[in-house]
Amino acid sequence: MSSTIQELERRREAARAGGGEKRVAAQHSKGKLTARERIEVFLDEGSFEELDMYVEHNCVDFGMPDQVVPGDGVVTGSGTVNGRLVFVFSQDFTVFGGSLSERHAQKICKIMDMAMKVGAPVIGMNDSGGARIQEGVASLAGYAEVFQRNVLASGVVPQLSLIMGPCAGGAVYSPAMTDFIFMVKDSSYMFVTGPDVVKTVTNEVVTQEELGGAVTHTTKSSVADLALENDIETLLAARDFIDFLPASNREKPPERPCHDPWDRIEDSLDTLIPPSANQPYDMHELIRKTLDEGDFFELQPAHAANIIIGFGRIEGRTVGVVANQPMVLAGCLDINSSKKAARFVRFCDAFEIPIVTFVDVPGFLPGVGQEHSGIIKHGAKLLFAYAEATVPKITVITRKAYGGAYDVMSSKHLRGDLNYAWPTAEIAVMGAKGAVEIIFRGKTPEEIAERTAEYEARFANPFVAASKGFVDEVIMPHSTRRRIALGLRKLRNKKLENPWKKHDNIPL
């Protein structure tokens, strides 16, 4: 018995050592944590239970039988975040550069299968050189097995990818199919083909950082949701983030004690809207003053900033927030903002998270570039997402809600449950000046000015829409939090089902 226990300890030590002291030191010298250190930071202390610690690769070519490391380059298992069960895998760059082998993939697939079975989030920490070339097609098959599970798990359990090192080639498609991606600045990158291949094929000279770094993917491509400073910050942000999400689509979002009064009056909101219709204001102020304790976890803040998305809480319960941002492009909807918000709305709907929408939108962004790049199809994604969503939907129109963009932003006509307007709201087909110039084409400037004043008096208010039942109530800005809290209470047991279908065909 004692010899068996000694052997067990020896094997455990070998697995914990990873690629050895030299490679661990090299990982630390780059400012990166090891696979096990990352898990320790992310999970509650002492909660990690590892699976498949002794798994070894099965490759017999290229001298690989002489290079066997227990665990095979990935640490997998389960633990808790603030007491709630999660499953994790963390690729170990010190072992074969974290490259994915057949057995490495099997380990990841095993915890994903378990997560789906019991209903718990999956968090992947990616730090890998890609497919293990020595294994050839077996490694590619391993990737495909992981991809298949990403798809099956989508909408069943939340999936979060933390890119904490290289992630290139086929490896990028697993994170791409997860719900959210966090990246580390200066030490992580994602691309399908690297700088050398790009230079050979297209003659473009580009660095890894420019091609697929954290800043690139959180500003230009929108592949990632957040770019964080280092491993620790990324892991702590992920802990906070997981707290907002339900364990699975079978459970309600988590609830935490709340000491912020549900009926808190926020008098400063009565003066948030500037006197001039062309003057911007920061929608973040309204969001933070409405949510519990001003706590708002924003996603993709550096991409398509004309729309704001993220999670907060009302009375301790998670809500998803979508809001036009008048500070950027006057809050217009364009291709990027439509895609950004549509994916977020669909996530919220998949996991029964109520959606609160703040509207100040003058329309869709005009331009040849937008039209030729498919604003019609991309704008329809957001329309489709709101229309198919069956979760509680509360909308507050603060100022402009013009044209088709009014319809798209969770209007009453898309099964909005409670649609409120501030007294400053203007709900119309278009702005007064544009409308008058079309209706009274050919009139003198004086007549146009006179008619514009008439149009504004008639339509630049929320009462026409309210008289038709398109707005449920015109509310005072200071009571916004109270109204939303009451609305969410009412809608807690909402039941709504779409017609049976295998699945819809969203305009991708």
Spell out a b/e string for 229-261, using b for 16 or more CB atoms within 10 Å of the CB, else e: eebeebbebbbebbbbbbbbeeeebbeeeeebe
Residue 165: phi and psi, rounded to 5, are 180, -155
CA distance 173 to 87: 20
Q: Which of 224, 389, 405, 421 is catalytic?
A: 405
| 119 contacts 157 by C-beta, under 8 angstroms | yes
CA distance 225 to 243: 17
CA distance 410 to 308: 14
CA distance 361 to 257: 34
The secondary element (H helix, E strand) that includes residue 395 is strand 393-402
Active site residue 405: yes
Kindly give the pairing relationship between strand 226-228 and strand 180-184: parallel
Active site residue 169: yes
Q: Which of 119, 155, 316, 404 is catalytic?
A: 404
Residue where the block lists tokens 């305009």: 507
β-strand partners of 189: 166, 213
Using alpha carbons only, how large is the chain's radius of gyration in Å?
26
CB atoms within 10 A of CB 72: 27
Active site residue 170: yes
CA distance 178 to 133: 25
| 487 closest CA partner among 328, 398, 356 | 356
Q: Which of 119, 170, 316, 434 is catalytic?
A: 170
Type of residue found at 3: S
The secondary element (H helix, E strand) that includes residue 226 is strand 226-228
284 sits in the region (left: phi over 0; alpha: psi -120 to 50; else beta) called alpha
β-strand partners of 255: 317
Type of residue found at 434: G
Active site residue 310: no
Q: Which of 77, 169, 212, 363 is catalytic?
A: 169
Q: Which residues are catalytic?
A: 169-170, 404-405
